[in-house]
Amino acid sequence: LAEMPYPGAVWNQDFLESLENGYRLDRPKFASTGIFEYIKSCWRLEPELRPSFAKLKEYFSNPNIHRLASDEQPKAHNLPQVYENQQVV
């Protein structure tokens, strides 16, 4: 985290053209697919299509972001066991 993007890249006209043609960084290992999709929306060429800082704050402040943007599937197969372990009040 907090590193220069594209380490080792030579920032010349060819590199800038590759960015304009869609070249982007790979998904960081700490980012789920869902979060990475949102990150990629920040890289759109047209500024009006990028999320605002207010939208970014709203998205990343959501306490359910890790569940909503997770690569994991819901663990529905555990529901019967969880239900059986509940005490009736």
Q: What is the pLDDT of residues 28-57, one digit of tens each?
A: 888 888 888 888 999 998 999 999 999 999
Can you tell me which residue has the tokens 């959501």? 62
Q: Using CA atoms, how far apart are residues 6 and 21, in angstroms rounded to an integer?
A: 15
Dist CA 89 CA 87 (whole Å)? 6
Q: Angle at the Cα of 60 (from 77 to 53), degrees rounded to 5?
A: 150
pLDDT in the model for residue 69 = 58
71: confidence class by pLDDT, cuts 50, 70, 90: low
Residue 46 is predicted with a pLDDT of: 92
pTM: 0.60
pLDDT recorded at residue 2: 65
